[in-house]
Amino acid sequence: MEEIGWFSIIGRMAAVLWPVWLGMALVFALSITFKRRLGLYGKLFDSNIGMVGFALVLFWLLVAVFAPQIATHDPLTQLSGMKNAVPGTPTGQEGGYPYYLLGGDSLARDVFSRMIMGARDVLKIAPAAALIAYAVGICLGLPAGYIGGWWDDLLSFLANLVLAFPVILLFFLLVTPEIRATGIPNIMAAVLFAIPLVLIGLMIQTRFVTQPGKKWGWLAVLGVLGIWAYLGLAFNADPLGVWRMPPNLLNVFIAVVFVNAPTVFRIVRGITMDIRNRDYVAAAQTRGESSAYIMLWEILPNARGPLIVDFCLRIGYTTILLGTLGFFGLGVSPESPDWGSTINEGRRLLTAYPHAALAPAIALMSLVLGLNLLADGLREESLRD
C-alpha cells in the first residue's frame, strides 16, 4: 500500500468522526428549534460568535464521549516501522485500520488516535475542576461579600496570599512526588471535595425549609450519593470502584482547584457586594428570610450571568494549565495521551516531523478558542437581558 495524500487523509478523518457530526447535527437542530424555551442557552443561538464557539466546544466534547469508537488505533500501541511516520503512511499490518492518518510519533504511536483520546483526558479534568473551584469560591465569596467584617478580611487576605504566589511554581509544588508523599494533597482533597456537598446541602435546607418532606428526601439522596462519591474521590474508598481517582490525577485535580478557587472567590465577593443593596434583597430581609436563603436564592441566581461567562473562560484557562503541566512532564501520567505531553514529545523533532506536535497543539488551541468565543457569546446575550 502507498501513502495517501492530504485530500484522502481529511476525507478519512471526516469519515471516522461520523458520530461527532451526527451528534452535532442533532444538538443544533433541537437547540435552534426550541431556543425560545431554553433561556440563556437558547439565546446563544442568536449570536454568531456564540454559535461558532459552541460548535467548537461541542465538537471536542463529542470527540471525548465517542473517543474509543473514533480512535483508529490504541494510543499506547507501538507498530514496527511507524516511528516518525509521515501522515497517511500505511501500517502494513493485517487487520485494524490500515493507515496512520496523522503519522506516527517518536515512539511509533498513532498521532491521530492520541489526539482523539487526549480530548477525553482534558475534558474529564478541566470542567470538573472548574466546577469544584466554583463551589469553593461561591461558598466563601457569598458570606464574605454579604456579611463582611472580619470574615471578609480573613478570606480576602488568604485569597490574595495564594494569588500572589506564581501560578506555575505553585502547580509544580503541588504535583511533585515529594509533596504527594507528605499526604498534603489527600488532606486538601478531603476539604475541597466536602465543600460542594455543604453548598448543595445548604441550598436544599434553605429552599425547602417549610417543606420538611421534600427537604429530608433530597438530603437523604445527597447523603447517599454525595458521601459515596466523596469517599471514592477523596480517599479512594469506594468498594464498588465507581468513584475513583488515581493519586497522580488527584494531585493535578487538586492543584487546578486550589489555584482557581481564590480568583472565583474574588469574583463572587465583588458581585455579592454589588447586589446586596438591591431592592429585592431588602424585600427578602423584610420578609424575615435567613442570610443563607438570601445569599443562595436571591443573590446567587442574579449573579449567574457573569459567573457562567467566567466559568467558560475558566475551563479554557484550566485547559491551558493542564497542557502546561503535561508539557513539563507533570501531567496525568508519563504515557498519557494528554495534549501537553504529546506536544512535548513531538517538539523534539519539530523541524523534521512537525505533525506529532502540531496536531495536539491545534486541538488545544481550537478548544480554548471555542471556550473563549462561547464566553463572548454568552456575555453578549446576557447584556441584552
13-22, 323-332, 359-368: segment of lowest average pLDDT: 323-332
Same domain, 114 and 130: no
Same domain, 227 and 269: yes
Tell me, what's the pLDDT at 305? 82
Domain tally for the chain? 2
Top mean pLDDT of 39-43, 114-118, 241-245 is at: 114-118
Q: Which residue has the cell 461541542?
A: 58
Q: Give domain status of residue 69, yes or no.
A: yes
Tell me, what's the pLDDT at 332? 64
Tell me, what's the pLDDT at 143? 93
Instruction: HSE, CB side, 13 Å, CA atoms: give it for residue 152.
Output: 14
Residues 6+ apart with CB under 8 A from 181: none
Same domain, 155 and 239: yes
Whether the CB-CB separation of 260 and 321 falls below 8 Å is answered with: no
Q: How far apart are alpha carbons 226 and 230 in whole angstroms?
A: 6
Q: For residue 81, what pLDDT band results from cuts at 50, 70 and 90?
A: confident
Buried b or exposed e, range 41-54, using 16+ CB within 10 angstroms: bbbbbebebbbbbb
Tell me, what's the pLDDT at 162? 85
Q: pTM for the whole thing?
A: 0.86
Give residue 180's Cα distance to chain centre.
23
Q: Give domain status of residue 321, yes or no.
A: no
Which comes out higher in pLDDT, residue 110 or 325?
110
Mean pLDDT calculated for residue range 323-328:
76
21-30, 209-218, 244-253: segment of lowest average pLDDT: 244-253
User: Which residue segment(s) compose the domain that 361 sits in?
Assistant: 6-118+342-384
Same domain, 189 and 285: yes
Tell me, what's the pLDDT at 101? 87
Q: Give domain status of residue 1, yes or no.
A: no
